Structure 1
């Protein structure tokens, strides 16, 4: 396959990235590539640093594999370079190519298409926290952001800490709770049945502590869009037809994908084996959050509309 030679400018950027990575002790150099470069030459210019190539272009992916370079395939190209970089970092962590909390040096075309001209230093812990808040805001759902934030925070806490030192996997379905209840059945007596609504508030610390205890039961919690626990210990019955999930995902994830496809709810799973949190909407994984060593911090974003012109 024909390769694109690296230019003098690109080589200079690679040398600068190599020196920067050595100085800050970065874990790797991550290259967002749209062209099938001679990745052997790229690796040589990058020096001893681990080189990761990320791309959604099949020819770029083939060239990287042929040159024996660690490849991070991107399924769908995001709207911006920043979103593409975010996806690449998440995929690299999920594939155990990078560890949460480390620093990486990222190279990408920031100003000119197909020209690697920009270098950034990314702290993965801080980056993933900002990514999560932004991506939740992008979800097209009638579930209020505040409710999603509370449930995701608790899911991440369960994924990170487990319960009494043991790993725990569980599922939450948020929103469209009446239909979710119709498409599920109880496996235990509902522990929240009979309690007044104010005593089932998700924001209440006692309620969250109860959820963490009942999460050891391998079934789902149903949460209303306004943030109340409707039921626990539910078995999700939605049919898993027409779904496509990554290899290695088990029945919990298939059930979550199916219920999110059959209803307007957002399904949130916690993997027992890895602690990874996934958000499903319309049968698709919309967001994956890897367990971090510290609690997630949410940031509020304020936007000012552009001035109008007459």
Structure 2
């Protein structure tokens, strides 16, 4: 596709977005602006709407004469950027919960527009967002943490084979984590290549869910490769703060996060609650919703 064709498509998207906003009586339009040419294409419509211009480039911000909203996309995958932007915009009071806005952005990786979305700003983010996780670790990719935490939430809510299960995931600093742990079972991931054991693969996620029926922790490398399952974490408590009323699984997660740079994520067998540990502290608690026993999902 030529650059001119892309420019024309972007112009058509902007015109259609303006028409859609008018018909839906939406006055606020959020645009992820990745080029000055896109900004120039927006100018004819600027007086009619309240634009939120989102940039990741500080130099570009200096070239634009209106107020802009800077977002750091480092470590955020393109598919997660809109969630990250919206959460950031809510926290910065650029938009309010309950508002309805029009979002224009690119999912393809090009610097011009290819996607329009009408979004009502509610608690649609789910229990945790990439924005939250970016604050927890500077060394572990946000998309990996986001995936593992959401996998833990699924396990906490659904259990396995009709039974509640508990488990631990330790992500990052795997060399030291392995030194401070020992196998409780034969490692089910041993002997497979990295492409066959990467947590980003749906088949690997399903295997992990099956293996939650065994005791011990899953050890996951920074690139998403699951190195081991069924590991006993024997790091001492050290200076990490004790957590009253919580059992051995949480104590082990707390300790391993104190003695390593890894992030530990636990699922409580009794409640399904997910806790995230970093730096020897519990930094986030996510309460699970478990449907009553008489409610079943349709197959």
TM-score by length of 1: 0.53
Alignment match, 1:160:
157
Count residues in correspondence. Answer: 176
CA distance in 2, matches of 1:131, 1:189: 34
- Of 131, 135, 142, the residue aligned with 2:132 is 135
Contact 2:249 2:266 in 1 (8 A): yes
Unmatched runs of 5 consecutive residues or more in structure 1: 1-109, 111-119, 295-310
Runs of 4+ in structure 1 deviating by more than 3 angstroms, as ranges, are 130-133
- Of 143, 148, 155, the residue aligned with 1:146 is 143
- Of 248, 253, 257, the residue aligned with 1:251 is 248
Contact 1:191 1:231 in 2 (8 A): yes
Residue 232 in structure 1 maps to residue 211 in structure 2 = no
Paired residue secondary structure (2:163): coil
Q: Deviations over 1:107-162 (max 9, x none)?
A: xxx9xxxxxxxxx88xxx92772654431121233000011011111100000000
CA distance in 1, matches of 2:137, 2:189: 29
Contact 2:275 2:286 in 1 (8 A): yes
- Of 198, 201, 205, the residue aligned with 2:195 is 198
Contact 2:130 2:142 in 1 (8 A): no
TM-score by length of 2: 0.55
CA distance in 1, matches of 2:246, 2:290: 23
Paired residue secondary structure (1:149): helix
Matches within 5 A, 1:48-127: 126=123
Contact 2:272 2:290 in 1 (8 A): no
Residue 278 in structure 1 maps to residue 278 in structure 2 = no
Unmatched runs of 5 consecutive residues or more in structure 2: 1-92, 99-121, 292-299
